[in-house]
Structure 1
Amino acid sequence: MNKKQKKMLIRILIAAVLMVVLHFVPASGILRFVLYMIPYAIIGYDILIKAGKGVKNRQPFDENFLMAVATVGAIVLGLTQSGDYTEAIGVMLFYQVGEWFQSYAVGKSRRNISQLMDIRPDYANIEQDGALEQVDPDEVEVGTIIVVQPGEKVPIDGVIVEGSSTLDTSALTGESLPRETAPGDEIISGCINLSGVLKIRTTREFGESTVSKILDLVENASSRKSRSEAFISRFARVYTPAVCYSALALLILPPLVRMFLLDLPADWGDWLYRALTFLVISCPCALVISIPLSFFAGIGGASNAGVLIKGSNYLETLSQVKAIVFDKTGTLTQGVFEVSGIHHNKLEDEKLLELAALAESASSHPISRSLQRAYGKPVDRSRVSDIQEISGNGVIAKVDGMEVAAGNDKLMKRLGIDFIPCHHVGTIIHMAVNGAYAGHIVISDVIKPHSKQAIHDLHRAGIQKTIMLTGDIDPVARQVADELGIDEVYSELLPADKVEKVESLLQNKPSGGKLAFVGDGINDAPVLSRADIGIAMGAMGSDAAIEAADVVLMDDDPLKIVKAVKISRKCLRIVYQNIVFAIGIKLICLVLGALGLANMWLAIFADVGVMILAVLNAIRALFVKNL
């Protein structure tokens, strides 16, 4: 509870105590009026000031104006008729109670998000003349060696050059299990170093680091409004003036009809009371407050679970997803390729592997890295020249003066080289040296531990169709799809083919549903942008994928996709519950108020009571741990 909330709570308690005490004080006339105005001023002065400012700025129609008119009217009635001012104080008191609940709920959601904001580093350590100097992370250049001591945050992305440790990544991923690190490992900013001293060579400037991107995503999340929020905003702009004019009509028209048409007493006091009750009932607080709060709480709860949703519009779209398209490598599989077989014509296994590793040495593709790991020796790049990478085919390069081609079937056909088909399941790298076929290398990817469970859980959650897109060969793609239980698979696709395929899938998606794409690679960015909603595997994903995506998973666990979908659906259920509940109760009470069957206390329930119940319901969106 912050200072503002504590101050408001004190005002509420003082006003409530004074209202109860004054009930037993035998005062009358002006003294009674003055005594009752003390708790009214204590609890309502800020509402009156805001209402006055709204009128001054020619924007009077808001909840402050409604509360001010209703309570001042109730006071006038008390002065002229009943001498009872408790209803006026009660309206202000319970309205402020509702506002306090709303403030507390927003604060709780902000604290969930601020746990992520705590990843912002205050400084970076640079060693100079044998001593550590703390500098602003913005001042650290790429390639600088920084030192991270136990208990400190990693300030900038980089590679460990010395030391080993365990890292607390819970603020980023929502997972409590520490990660082991060693020299050579890439490390992202925002993690907390738990044990050993680490020396890290920075690979990015602070403004481009993971922590900066995450903070930017979180800070901008609330600016993107959902259709439900936009509707409520438009609704309130029309609804509030309409009920003000309706209350005015309720005050004027029935007494005039009674006087001139029915020849009955006008009974202005009774109709004024009805109009004031009508105003209090009609206040749209429950909708205007609880709907944005539900989305805000949903985004906060998701952030705490390691799922960054860039705005409530994306949260709403995610809840409507009926089909999910997956990239294979790095999304459903680990992207850790291992050489599982070498088949050659005349060259030795080691020589064929050496030529492949050298030819692929300029590529950062996982297959290239797996060849270099299998080769196991330092790669001398000076032996390689004239490298030509052909997207979706492979690489052609000169190694020790020989022309070496390493790639798939398409590359061999492109070069007019007869090759021997391989019937092993895996990625096949065909090799040709000086235009002659030299053999092939079999590389297999490893499926992520939770991929199968994630696909199963998505189907149970109501996802009607799961699809996998990959540039891999058909036998490998089908084996992975069958093992995971994926409904459809499309293989041997170039990056442009993936966009085309998603376009086709968007035309044939389940009726009334949305299509999501999940990927992590730089070539997934166009597809992430094209799908109804793009989901990036954030921790190891490329910057381009994270920028293009609407939802970012802070680790590479596919089960987070299931959690993201469930969070969005829970949030939207709460939103629709609040809309139906708030509008339904208000319509009933408005009719009762207009007929004179509702007093001010029922009006308070219809306004503040409904708002408090809607806010409490909205807070449920924060709790996502067991989804």
Structure 2
Amino acid sequence: MKKLNSNQKRLLRILIGAVVYAFGILYKANDNIVSLVIFLIAFIIIGGNIVLKAIKNIFHGQVFDENFLMSIATIGAFSIGDYAEGAAVMLFYQVGELFQSYAVDSSRKSIASLMDIRPDYANVQRGETLEKVDPDEVKIGDVIVVKAGEKIPLDAEVIDGSSMVDTSALTGESVPREIAPGDNLLSGCVNLNGLITARVTKEFGESTVSKILDLVENASSKKSNSENFITKFARYYTPAVVILAALLAIIPPLAVPGAVFSDWLYRALVFLVISCPCALVISIPLSFFGGIGGASKRGILVKGSNYLEALAETEIVVFDKTGTLTKGVFKVQEIVPNDISKEELLEMTAYAESYSNHPISLSLKQAYGKEIDNARITNVDEISGHGVVANIDGKAVAAGNAKLMRKLDISFQEPDDVAGTVVHVAIGNIYRGYIVIADEVKEDSPEAIRDLKTAGIKQTVMLTGDAKRIGEKVAAQLGLDKVYTELLPADKVQKMEELFAGKSPKGKLAFVGDGINDAPVLARADIGIAMGGLGSDAAIEAADVVIMTDEPSKIATAMKVSRKTLRIVKQNIALALTVKAIVLILGAIGVATMWAAVFADVGVAVLAILNAIRVLNGKGFR
């Protein structure tokens, strides 16, 4: 049988206790002892753990907390014979605690378990043989061999072989990078095709993959978790009302002629029952819970009430580029022919690239949009790190990067200020133009930036591992305030630390990303926001807020939900404290009865709960 978690146990206690309590109400026993036993059983089932916690805290020096106040107020109700009230107050309190607990438990779980970038082994060359060893055992200067499809286990320098390397785990960029002898390899990347021999430059503990794992596991510990309002409030409120109640029970019988101790003890206990902060205890977590529910209806998952509250205080929003502000899908953006039509240039290029599964080749074939006639293609030669040479209809067609053109001694001119990957094309050894492949900006990204600035965000920033010209073009297109390019995950965290210095002491910094490489900065930010529809599991797990629709414009919506929620919380606090203050004064002078106490507790709680539910409808966010 599956073991119940803490929330399930609490819910079970509440349900069983509520049934016993309902039986006590309906039974209406004439015998006071029977009534006491029934409500006492309900009270022990519902709130026995609260009383025990209060006792334990007293022994640990934490006397005046909400557990103590709830215990003394409810026990006080029992001592003056109002058993139903004592049990009811504890029931309401536990319901509020349950709602809060559910919100908290949905927060971030273990991040490291989802980080699938740690290499399992390294192929170390020992003489003429290869030994498969743990990456921790490899030393600087050892020669490793990385086969096609394997993860690069340690940072190293290529000494032989060339290949395409998938760096998406580190940079988030979909286009693989070309590597050749002399280039540096970063651990955590994946070798896509060729055989690579490399010399290790860093031990595993200092390698890129090890640093990323360490950043993800430890960055979240730098978050400042704001103390729960109720605990703060109770720190001052609880000792104050307990001292006042004690004075109310003791001083009048000693100072007022004819005063009866039992009467003033009754007033003091009524005072304690009235002072129970039930409305606050329930309505505040419920307001946040309602805000979380209202956000989820709009495809925004908030993992805890503290993050919902922090959204309203955000001053700086930092974005990743690929998959966050852009679609992460590469398409043909521009065709620039030279003495040839655009259609023919694209057709020849698509045919030359037709045998490759490289993302650039796939985007060229998609742009061509017609069926490839393989009979027209002969003598295909894919030159690793350069491009493809093939015969199309008897003509030699070369499609690739600038290195391919130089290798074939073809005269060409590099285009200036191109934001994307350039595919140069030569037909019959004559340069015929180039095609630009680039990522597309999401349709609502400009709207997202505009809405954030309208909402009062002081600064919008983009951090990307992409090339400078590409990052700066996207930033200019969207109207971002700052952009930092060609960054690895550790560099992004460093930039984040610099940006933290630019906000006010109470202001918050939010980071928005979608890839596994974004996990460290998502964890480090005050609020980490992940694109959940297409984002990696690690990013979603590391984030505090998840945008399930992949629309960056929902970030401004989340902030509107947060601000409305906080307005309702403040209204509930003002309502509860005002009513409490009035009824407490009436109770102290003997005017307020237990019915007034019930209203101060239950009535205000119901009003506050009804107010809290308003945030679910989502109307009028501003």
Q: One fold, TM greater than 0.5?
A: yes
Quick one: distance in 2 between partners of 1:515 and 1:412?
Answer: 46
How much has 1:280 moved relative to structure 2?
Answer: 0.7
How much has 1:5 moved relative to structure 2?
Answer: 6.5
Residue 349 (structure 1) aligned to one of 333, 345, 352: 345
Structure 2 CA distance for partners of 1:418 and 1:325, relative to 1, 3 Å: farther
Deviations 1:228-276 (A, max 9, x none): 6634236547754664454234312332344xxxxx3342133112211
Q: Residue 449 of structure 1: SS of its match in structure 2?
A: coil
Q: Residue 536 of structure 1: SS of its match in structure 2?
A: strand
Partner of 1:530: 524
Partner of 1:265: 258
How much has 1:476 moved relative to structure 2?
Answer: 5.7
Structure 2 CA distance for partners of 1:247 and 1:341, relative to 1, 3 Å: closer
Residue 610 (structure 1) aligned to one of 574, 580, 604: 604
1:268 alignment partner AA: F
Indicate the larger mover: 498-507 or 229-238: 229-238
Structure 2 CA distance for partners of 1:298 and 1:517, relative to 1, 3 Å: same
Contact residue 255 and residue 271 of structure 1 kept, 8 A: yes
How much has 1:547 moved relative to structure 2?
Answer: 2.9
Structure 2 CA distance for partners of 1:544 and 1:35, relative to 1, 3 Å: closer
Q: Residue 307 of structure 2: SS of its match in structure 1?
A: helix
Quick one: distance in 1 between partners of 2:228 and 2:563?
Answer: 19
Structure 2 CA distance for partners of 1:575 and 1:356, relative to 1, 3 Å: farther
Deviations 1:256-299 (A, max 9, x none): 344xxxxx334213311221121112212223333233333333
Partner of 2:77: 71
Q: Do residues 589 (structure 1) and 583 (structure 2) align? A: yes
Deviations 1:368-420 (A, max 9, x none): 6424534775999x977785xxxxxxx557878x9x996699x999xxx9973
Quick one: distance in 2 between partners of 1:583 and 1:97?
Answer: 21
Partner of 1:322: 315
How much has 1:535 moved relative to structure 2?
Answer: 1.3
1:526-565 alignment to 2 at 5 Å? 526-565=520-559
Partner of 1:47: 43
Structure 2 CA distance for partners of 1:48 and 1:4, relative to 1, 3 Å: closer
How much has 1:625 moved relative to structure 2?
Answer: 6.8
Q: Residue 336 of structure 1: SS of its match in structure 2?
A: strand
Quick one: distance in 1 between partners of 2:511 and 2:367?
Answer: 32
Indicate the larger mover: 340-349 or 486-495: 340-349
1:331 alignment partner AA: T
How much has 1:545 moved relative to structure 2?
Answer: 2.4
Residue 516 (structure 1) aligned to one of 506, 510, 517: 510
Quick one: distance in 1 between partners of 2:411 and 2:311?
Answer: 48
Residue 420 (structure 1) aligned to one of 392, 409, 413: 413
Partner of 1:208: none
Partner of 1:310: 303
Quick one: distance in 2 between partners of 1:361 and 1:583?
Answer: 66
Contact residue 294 and residue 616 of structure 2 kept, 8 A: yes
How much has 1:48 moved relative to structure 2?
Answer: 5.7
Partner of 2:230: 232
How much has 1:462 moved relative to structure 2?
Answer: 2.6
Q: Residue 335 of structure 1: SS of its match in structure 2?
A: strand
How much has 1:439 moved relative to structure 2?
Answer: 5.6
Quick one: distance in 2 between partners of 1:408 and 1:490?
Answer: 27
Residue 280 (structure 1) aligned to one of 273, 276, 282: 273
Quick one: distance in 1 between partners of 2:467 and 2:519?
Answer: 22
Deviations 1:304-358 (A, max 9, x none): 4322222223222222112222233322333333224344789993698369958
Q: Residue 322 of structure 2: SS of its match in structure 1?
A: coil
2:422 alignment partner AA: I
Partner of 2:252: 254
Structure 2 CA distance for partners of 1:286 and 1:552, relative to 1, 3 Å: same
Structure 2 CA distance for partners of 1:3 and 1:275, relative to 1, 3 Å: closer
Structure 2 CA distance for partners of 1:431 and 1:525, relative to 1, 3 Å: farther
How much has 1:441 moved relative to structure 2?
Answer: 2.4
1:47 alignment partner AA: F
Quick one: distance in 2 between partners of 1:441 and 1:247?
Answer: 82
1:615 alignment partner AA: I
Contact residue 322 and residue 514 of structure 1 kept, 8 A: yes
Q: Residue 463 of structure 1: SS of its match in structure 2?
A: coil
Contact residue 229 and residue 292 of structure 1 kept, 8 A: no
Contact residue 537 and residue 556 of structure 1 kept, 8 A: yes
Structure 2 CA distance for partners of 1:285 and 1:529, relative to 1, 3 Å: same
Partner of 2:124: none
Contact residue 324 and residue 550 of structure 2 kept, 8 A: yes
Q: Do residues 290 (structure 1) and 283 (structure 2) align? A: yes
Q: Do residues 332 (structure 1) and 338 (structure 2) align? A: no
Count of equivalent residues: 465
Quick one: distance in 2 between partners of 1:590 and 1:228?
Answer: 30
2:452 alignment partner AA: L
Q: Do residues 493 (structure 1) and 486 (structure 2) align? A: yes
Q: Residue 319 of structure 2: SS of its match in structure 1?
A: strand
Structure 2 CA distance for partners of 1:369 and 1:236, relative to 1, 3 Å: farther
Contact residue 307 and residue 560 of structure 1 kept, 8 A: yes
Structure 2 CA distance for partners of 1:419 and 1:581, relative to 1, 3 Å: farther
Contact residue 43 and residue 87 of structure 2 kept, 8 A: no
Deviations 1:71-108 (A, max 9, x none): 33433xxxxxxxxxxxx3673586488569859x959x
Contact residue 518 and residue 536 of structure 1 kept, 8 A: yes
1:281 alignment partner AA: I
Contact residue 343 and residue 439 of structure 1 kept, 8 A: yes
Structure 2 CA distance for partners of 1:498 and 1:237, relative to 1, 3 Å: closer
Structure 2 CA distance for partners of 1:473 and 1:359, relative to 1, 3 Å: farther
1:71 alignment partner AA: A
How much has 1:361 moved relative to structure 2?
Answer: 4.4
Quick one: distance in 1 between partners of 2:51 and 2:482?
Answer: 62
Residue 453 (structure 2) aligned to one of 416, 437, 459: 459
1:308 alignment partner AA: L
Quick one: distance in 2 between partners of 1:346 and 1:396?
Answer: 24
Partner of 2:25: 15
Q: Residue 301 of structure 2: SS of its match in structure 1?
A: strand
Give the TM-score of the pair, scaled to structure 1: 0.59
Indicate the larger mover: 91-100 or 294-303: 91-100
Quick one: distance in 1 between partners of 2:294 and 2:68?
Answer: 30
Structure 2 CA distance for partners of 1:384 and 1:378, relative to 1, 3 Å: farther
Quick one: distance in 2 between partners of 1:512 and 1:65?
Answer: 35
Q: Do residues 579 (structure 1) and 585 (structure 2) align? A: no
Contact residue 569 and residue 612 of structure 2 kept, 8 A: yes
Q: Do residues 503 (structure 1) and 497 (structure 2) align? A: yes
Quick one: distance in 2 between partners of 1:314 and 1:459?
Answer: 20
Residue 85 (structure 2) aligned to one of 74, 85, 91: 91
How much has 1:564 moved relative to structure 2?
Answer: 1.8
Q: Residue 446 of structure 1: SS of its match in structure 2?
A: strand
1:385-424 alignment to 2 at 5 Å? 387=384, 395-396=385-386, 420-422=413-415
Q: Residue 422 of structure 1: SS of its match in structure 2?
A: coil
Report sequence identity in percent: 46
Structure 2 CA distance for partners of 1:453 and 1:341, relative to 1, 3 Å: closer
Structure 2: gaps spanning 5 or more residues? 1-10, 59-66, 107-222, 391-395
Superposed CA RMSD in Å reads 5.0
Structure 2 CA distance for partners of 1:226 and 1:613, relative to 1, 3 Å: farther
Quick one: distance in 2 between partners of 1:273 and 1:378?
Answer: 96
Structure 2 CA distance for partners of 1:355 and 1:319, relative to 1, 3 Å: farther
Q: Residue 510 of structure 2: SS of its match in structure 1?
A: strand
Residue 449 (structure 1) aligned to one of 434, 443, 447: 443
Indicate the larger mover: 465-474 or 291-300: 465-474
Quick one: distance in 2 between partners of 1:500 and 1:228?
Answer: 24
Give the TM-score of the pair, scaled to structure 2: 0.60
Structure 2 CA distance for partners of 1:561 and 1:489, relative to 1, 3 Å: same
